[in-house]
């Protein structure tokens, strides 16, 4: 099975309005609720691809109970650890006239030392039988910035490949713990390395400790620095739509390829096709299966010159 970790889960609410206008009252035409947070998004896509998937992290309060009820309706196995504080909500307001999305994210509950210790114990237990683990998203209040580095060391001790997808100081600390793969976007990569030149920044990030680095370049696809070489993967054409969850779908594609022991070009092809199919989906954060199948053979992967 594949284990995903979402320390700062969320109840995702999407409101669709005809047009978003500042200082105005809006009539909402559609409301969508779903379990959210980056790791849960990854788990949902992996399950849709046919992988046995387990989701852990924290959930608490009334919103946490709603999240767990929604998660129960999916193929993802729920191993969320309870907290006294309530799970946060995230609100996405979609302007249907333009397709633009405005996002409002609450900070999340304060995690106590006892809750963190209980999670570490459950995480260690779940590593037994895991073929890969993904550590995704922001840290809730109360958890130290080296938490992901701590979990990476536990996964490495259990010989479980680990992917890290976070930002800021948790990424900086985590990459030094030598994860198998990190997947920053362009802004996160620039913050980590100080460079906005994609090739230099991706190579620099790998030198900081990660076995491989796959950087997201938005509509231009992915750039991967791996032990086997430097690769670029891009969709066949620019896609327009809602990018919410596209990065999480890319993570799911990379994990799917990892556990299937696919070569790097195939892993990147899955990741780019899933990401583009998520942008094209009418529901924010979900991928369009038919678009994925149509895009898969059309993703362009090239080997870049130079050492990774």
Q: Which residues are catalytic?
A: 248
Helix (H) or strand (E) holding 155: helix 147-157
Contact 19, 27 (CB under 8 A): no
Distance, CA of 186 to CA of 21 (rounded, Å): 29
Distance, CA of 149 to CA of 217 (rounded, Å): 25
Distance, CA of 154 to CA of 159 (rounded, Å): 9
CA distances from 301 to 116, 188, 233, 246, 277 (A): 41, 23, 4, 18, 17
| Half-sphere exposure for 252 (CA within 13 Å, toward CB) | 33
Q: What DSSP letter does each residue of 87-110 carry, written as one string?
A: PEEEEEEEETTT--EEEEE---PP
- Sort strands 162-165 and 88-95 into parallel, antiparallel or unpaired: unpaired
Backbone dihedral angles phi then psi of residue 294, each to the nearest 5 degrees: -75, -35
What is the radius of gyration, based on Cα positions, of the chain?
19
């Amino acid at each position: 099975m594949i284990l995903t970790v979402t320390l700062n889960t969320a109840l995702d609410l999407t409101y669709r309005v005809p047009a978003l206008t500042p200082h105005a009252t809006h009539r909402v035409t559609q409301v969508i609720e779903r379990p959210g947070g980056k790791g849960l998004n990854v788990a949902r896509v992996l399950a849709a691809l046919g992988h046995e998937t387990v989701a852990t992290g924290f959930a608490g309060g009334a919103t946490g109970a709603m999240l767990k009820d929604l998660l129960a309706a999916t193929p993802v196995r729920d191993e969320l650890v309870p907290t006294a504080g309530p799970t946060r909500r995230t609100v996405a307001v979609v302007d249907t006239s333009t397709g633009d999305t405005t996002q409002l994210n609450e900070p999340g509950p304060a995690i106590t030392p006892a809750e963190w210790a209980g999670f570490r114990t459950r995480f260690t237990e779940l590593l037994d039988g895991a073929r890969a683990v993904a550590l995704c998203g922001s840290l809730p209040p109360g958890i130290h910035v080296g938490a992901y580095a701590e979990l990476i060391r536990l996964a490495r001790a259990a010989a479980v490949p680990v992917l890290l997808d976070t930002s800021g100081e948790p990424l900086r600390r985590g990459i030094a713990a030598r994860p198998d793969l990190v997947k920053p976007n362009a802004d996160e990569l620039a913050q980590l390395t100080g460079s906005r030149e994609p090739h230099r920044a991706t190579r620099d990030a790998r030198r900081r400790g990660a076995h491989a680095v796959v950087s997201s370049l938005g509509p231009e696809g992915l750039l991967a620095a791996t032990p086997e070489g430097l690769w670029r993967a891009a969709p066949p054409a620019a896609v327009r739509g809602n990018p919410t969850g596209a990065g999480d779908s890319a993570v799911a594609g990379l994990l799917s390829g990892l556990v299937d022991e696919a070569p790097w070009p195939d892993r990147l092809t899955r990741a780019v096709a899933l990401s583009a199919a998520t942008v094209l989906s009418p529901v924010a954060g979900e991928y369009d299966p038919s678009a994925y199948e149509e895009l898969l053979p059309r993703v362009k992967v090239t080997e870049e010159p130079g050492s990774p």
